[in-house]
Structure 1
Amino acid sequence: MNLQDCRLQKICRMVVPKEFRELLPPSPVWLTLSCKNKTWEVRYCGDRYLKRFETGWKRFAIENNLEIGDGCVFELMDNENLNFGVRVLKGEIPSLVRNIEDGRSSDSPIMID
């Protein structure tokens, strides 16, 4: 996911693109993000109009120095417990994935099978 102004809402929560949220339940759940040998518990709100990461996302974003224009690659490591490995791409998102002209990220994440 590419982090752009409309997606990174005051760094406290992040709206999840449609194709990614289809992997998640339509209810609030806790999930685990692992990055650089550290883990964070993040609450996914799947029952809201805007499906998003809320509680715990701000801490993850701050501790990983996320900035507008960075990207995150999420790899589902454990479907049952909703554990994701995350790789942070510091400003390394190809232009075909982001729309620089209007400042919005694509609602279609890159899915790697």
Structure 2
Amino acid sequence: MEQPLQQSSEPKDNEKEVEKYEEDDISYLSGKPFFDVVLGMSHVSPSYQLPIPARIVRELPQATVPVVLRYNCKNWNLSYMGNCSSPRLDSKWKNFVNDNNLKIGDACVFELMENSSSNIRFKVHILRGDLPPELRAKVDGRGQATENNPMQVD
């Protein structure tokens, strides 16, 4: 007499993969504070700088605090330099740029998932694609459109 097949309570390998990536699926923003940036030359080449916009700096501590950037199920550990005249991420930003092959014209959205005096965590959304030449010329070295050089998309 054949024994009936037993259903395992363990998830199958493909179910484990789905669970693993569920957290990092492309999704709409959750309503938490965020900032976005179209990457320019200073973001993706020496000097690899990522200044943090004033609108989000108001939410963050005025101190040097560990930061975790999360993208595609991986974490990058950096520091937020909130106690300097131009708050920014530290030089380890270069590792995030290189590991994710970021280029001029790519856009990143940084969603603030955790914010305390001991830890900051951003979920990062990356939008790939080179800007058309006519738009790239309007992006200054910080990856921002300027008042004298606005970016218009028709």
Where on the TM-score scale, by shorter chain, does this alignment land: which range? 0.7 to 0.9
- Give the number of the structure whose residues are more often helix, by fraction: 2
How far 1:62 moved relative to its partner? Answer: 0.6
Matched to 1:90, the amino acid is R
Deviation beyond 4 Å, 4+ runs, structure 1: 6-9
Q: TM-score, normalised by structure 2?
A: 0.57
**Candidates 110, 115, 119, aligned match of 1:74:** 110
Give the SS at the match of 1:42: strand
Q: TM-score, normalised by structure 1?
A: 0.74
**Total equivalences in the alignment:** 103
Gaps of 5+ in 1: 108-113
How far 1:13 moved relative to its partner? Answer: 2.6
Matched to 2:110, the amino acid is F
Partner of 1:85: 123
Partner of 1:57: 93
Matched to 1:89, the amino acid is L
Gaps of 5+ in 2: 1-36, 147-154
Q: Which structure has the bigger radius of gyration?
A: 2
Residue 105 of structure 1 pairs with residue 141 of structure 2: no
Q: Which has the higher contact order (CA 8 A, sep 6+)?
A: 1
**Alpha-carbon contact 1:11-1:61 (below 8 Å) kept:** no
Aligned equivalents of 2:55, 2:130: Cα separation in 1: 21
Matched to 1:105, the amino acid is Q
What percentage of residue pairs aligned between the two structures are identical? 31
Aligned equivalents of 1:17, 1:41: Cα separation in 2: 20
